[in-house]
């Protein structure tokens, strides 16, 4: 009887995990459509798969729900909306990331599987408008500096410039709200648009706010865009991380290019909250506590 009860509890927990994952996939507004398979990890060593740990432990690869970018050996930059489910937020203990591989469902010798020790959300993230859609994952261990297939990407040296050629990547859906998500990392080339174009009445009509930009074609026979499951992933220009996949209207919809968080706009916030700052804060707390203890003994 005890054995049966225990198995029932395990089955119930797994069912809830899978239901939660499906909900996350459907509710993630942002969204690679009309892209290409990435065949070499060179140039994509920063790419991160963010996963719901209970589901991924049960079925490797099925836990993926968002992307991210490694920005130093212990910090992943991603989107805040990835971790909101209704009125609650995911716990860091339920998160895990994979790095160093182009494959979502296959784990090889170079794949890193690292748990998350802390989730840092922007305190003024607004889910209804996607304003301040930015978050950091502080990893539980360092990514080795000499790892052959996992390395940080550079942060941007300037703000996004209209007309600049860039690239997005991820394991997201290839069509909006339908179809299987790809097993191999996909990428697509696109161009940054001016804020005036993005906010025109025939397009996003003022919804591209400060700290955001839009990128991709407005019309054409082959519109490239990010899609569900790509959220939080990188928009890379040259060798710099310029944008974070944030939101949009469907996927590859005419007149509605994808909207991205402007990384350059948030450089001070990133510097204040990344793992280096966290380590320094812990050091100061410990040092102060020890000093106070010694002083009180004198």
Digit-coded pLDDT (tens) for 256-281: 899 999 999 999 999 999 876 554 44
**Predicted pLDDT of residue 202:** 86
Cβ contacts of 270 within 8 Å, gap of 6 or more: 71, 77, 134, 136, 155, 263
61-115: pLDDT as tens digits = 999 999 999 999 999 999 999 999 878 899 999 999 999 999 999 999 999 999 9
The residues with which 75 forms a beta bridge, in sequence order, are 72, 138
Q: In this model, does residue 215 exceed pLDDT 50?
A: yes
Complete domains list, the chain, with CATH: 39-273 (2.40.10.10)
Grade residue 230 by pLDDT with cuts at 50, 70 and 90.
Answer: confident
pLDDT more than 70, % of the chain: 73
Grade residue 205 by pLDDT with cuts at 50, 70 and 90.
Answer: confident
Q: In this model, does residue 188 exceed pLDDT 70?
A: yes
SS3 (DSSP) at 82: helix
CA dist 222 and 207 (Å) reads 24
Known catalytic residues? 81, 133, 231
- Between 64 and 5, where is the model more confident? 64
> 198, 214 in Cβ contact below 8 A?
yes
Alpha-helical regions (H) of the chain: 2-27, 53-58, 195-198, 267-273, 275-297
Determine how β-strand 186-191 pairs with β-strand 212-215: unpaired
Grade residue 28 by pLDDT with cuts at 50, 70 and 90.
Answer: very low
| Average pLDDT across the chain, whole number | 82
Secondary structure E strands in the chain: 36-37, 47-52, 64-72, 75-78, 84-85, 88-89, 95-99, 112-121, 135-139, 165-170, 186-191, 212-215, 234-237, 240-247, 258-262
> 245, 66 in Cβ contact below 8 A?
no
């Amino acid at each position: 009887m005890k054995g049966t009860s225990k198995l029932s509890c395990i089955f119930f927990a797994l069912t809830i995990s899978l239901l939660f994952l499906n909900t996350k996939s459907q509710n993630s507004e942002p969204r690679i459509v009309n892209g290409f398979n990435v065949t070499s990890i060179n140039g994509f060593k920063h790419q991160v798969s963010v996963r719901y740990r209970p589901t991924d432990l049960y079925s490797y690869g099925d836990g993926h729900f968002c992307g991210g970018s490694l920005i130093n050996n212990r910090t992943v930059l991603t989107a805040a909306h990835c971790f909101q489910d209704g009125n609650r937020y995911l716990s860091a203990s339920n998160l895990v990331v994979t790095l160093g591989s182009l494959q979502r469902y296959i784990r090889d010798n170079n794949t890193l599987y690292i748990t998350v020790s802390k989730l840092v959300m922007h305190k003024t993230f607004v889910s209804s408008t996607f304003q301040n859609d930015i978050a950091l994952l502080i990893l539980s261990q360092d990514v080795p500096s000499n790892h052959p297939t996992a390395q940080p990407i550079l942060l941007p040296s300037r703000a996004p410039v209209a007309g600049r050629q860039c690239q997005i990547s991820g394991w997201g859906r290839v069509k909006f709200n339908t179809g299987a998500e790809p097993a191999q990392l996909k990428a697509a080339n696109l161009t940054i648009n001016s804020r005036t174009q993005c906010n025109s009445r025939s397009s996003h009509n003022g919804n591209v706010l400060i700290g955001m930009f839009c990128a991709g074609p407005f019309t054409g026979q082959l519109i490239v865009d990010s899609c569900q499951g790509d959220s939080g992933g990188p928009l890379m220009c040259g060798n710099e991380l310029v944008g974070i996949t944030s939101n949009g209207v469907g996927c590859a919809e005419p007149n509605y290019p994808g909207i991205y968080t402007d990384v350059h706009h948030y450089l001070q916030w990133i510097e204040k909250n990344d793992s280096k700052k966290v380590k320094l804060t812990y050091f100061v707390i410990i040092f102060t506590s020890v000093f106070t203890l010694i002083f009180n003994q004198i």
